[in-house]
């Protein structure tokens, strides 16, 4: 019976035949409907745009756990990310697991991001993939992601990310690992407000367009909302900051699967200074260039 359930879940829940699909990680990004490619200003940049790591000036650790999306423990997802800045760039590492005891995907990522002339960011991920299906053995593979980000003006960023540009496959049957391209813009008209517009193209699926906003009411409180097409979804969330801790919560609604909620905890060792630095990064970059 368990094996029949496994087959049904793989066929019903997976949107395409590709393995290791590009699911959203981290409650902040989930609340923005995954429109995070052109921001990527924390350790979760590992999953959205590794070039964004170059924006991080402080050590950071983030934990994400979604035990039963849409009430299905078989879709359990967990992730851990870490980044460490150096003079020659920022290094990161990430771990992601998806599934349950009969079907398990494991992804380990080593990441690097840096900046050129304070405006052009670049980065890459080296991925290790492992797929385990109980009683059907396991398989492993490696892959490469790349990303870039440009500060176009003192209030606008453009980001682009390519997942699995190496075209990696897994297993004897050469099952495709998801290959995804994302690009978009984030606009910061003032220090406490972001608007984001992005597009995603999975080679197996139609283009998905995503729009989102993030508004900081107070120094410690953020409100977020997002919408997307293909599939049609909407999301919302809230973030609380206290000293070095940030707690994020997101609600995500799929018209096909219903409503689910997720949470994540981030520890940034820069504390309030890190939050202020992230908000003022664009304007400070252009000030230093003009001076």
Per-residue HEC secondary structure of 58-93 comes to: CCEEEEEEECCHHHCHHHCEEEEEEEEEECCEEEEE
Question: Mean per-residue pLDDT for 98-120?
Answer: 94
Say whether 48 sits in a helix, a strand or coil.
Answer: helix
Q: How many CB atoms lie within 10 A of CB 258?
A: 11
Q: Are 241 and 265 in contact (CB under 8 A)?
A: no
pLDDT tens for each residue of 5-63: 444 444 444 433 457 877 889 999 999 999 999 999 999 999 999 999 999 989 999 99
State the chain's mean pLDDT as an integer.
Answer: 87
Question: How far is Cα 247 from Cα 34, in angstroms, rounded to an integer?
Answer: 18
Question: Mean per-residue pLDDT for 155-161?
Answer: 96
Question: Mean per-residue pLDDT for 139-159?
Answer: 95
* Residue 186 scores a pLDDT above 70: yes
Q: Are 76 and 98 in contact (CB under 8 A)?
A: yes
Q: Would you state the structure tokens that stand for residue 230, as one six-digit string?
A: 């293909």
Please state the pTM of the whole predicted model: 0.86
Domain residue spans of the chain: 17-290
Question: How far is Cα 176 from Cα 159, in angstroms, rounded to an integer?
Answer: 25
Q: Is 150 exposed, middle or buried (0-12, 13-18, 19+ CB in 10 A)?
A: middle
Who contacts 152 (Cβ-Cβ below 8 Å, separation ≥6)?
A: 158, 185
* Residue 284 scores a pLDDT above 70: no
| Domain 17-290, second-level architecture | Beta Barrel (2.40)
pLDDT grade for 160, boundaries at 50, 70 and 90: very high
Query: What are the angstrom distances between the C-alpha of 291 and each of 119, 169, 274, 288?
Result: 14, 49, 23, 5
Say whether 160 sits in a helix, a strand or coil.
Answer: strand
Question: How far is Cα 250 from Cα 245, in angstroms, rounded to an integer?
Answer: 17
Handedness of CA 18, 76, 28, 70 (dihedral sign): positive
Question: Mean per-residue pLDDT for 268-276?
Answer: 73
**pLDDT for 287:** 58
Pairing of strands 258-268, 120-133: unpaired
């Amino acid at each position: 019976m368990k094996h029949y359930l496994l087959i049904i879940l793989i066929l019903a829940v997976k949107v395409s035949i590709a393995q290791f699909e590009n699911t959203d990680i981290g409650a902040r990004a989930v609340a923005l409907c995954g429109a995070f490619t052109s921001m990527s200003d924390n350790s979760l940049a590992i999953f959205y745009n590794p070039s964004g790591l170059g924006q991080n000036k402080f050590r950071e650790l983030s934990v994400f756990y979604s035990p039963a999306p849409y009430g299905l423990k078989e879709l359990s997802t967990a992730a851990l990310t870490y980044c460490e800045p150096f003079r020659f760039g920022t290094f990161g590492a990430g771990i992601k697991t998806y599934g349950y005891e009969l079907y398990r995907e494991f992804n380990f990522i080593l990441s690097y991001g840096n900046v050129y002339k304070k405006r052009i960011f670049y980065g890459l991920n080296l991925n290790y993939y492992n797929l385990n299906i109980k009683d059907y053995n396991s398989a492993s593979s490696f892959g490469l992601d790349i990303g870039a980000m440009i500060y176009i003006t003192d209030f606008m960023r453009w980001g682009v990310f390519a997942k699995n540009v190496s075209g990696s496959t897994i297993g004897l049957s050469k099952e495709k690992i998801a290959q995804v391209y994302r690009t978009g813009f984030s606009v910061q008209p003032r220090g406490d407000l972001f608007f984001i517009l992005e597009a995603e193209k999975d080679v197996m699926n139609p283009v998905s367009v995503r729009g989102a906003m993030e508004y900081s009411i107070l120094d410690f409180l953020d409100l977020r909302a997002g919408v997307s097409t293909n599939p049609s979804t909407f999301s919302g969330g809230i973030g609380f900051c206290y000293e070095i801790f940030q707690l994020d919560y997101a609600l995500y609604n799929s018209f096909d699967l219903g409503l689910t909620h997720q949470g994540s905890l981030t520890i940034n060792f820069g504390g309030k200074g890190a939050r202020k630095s992230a908000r003022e990064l664009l304007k400070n970059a252009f000030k230093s260039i003009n001076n």
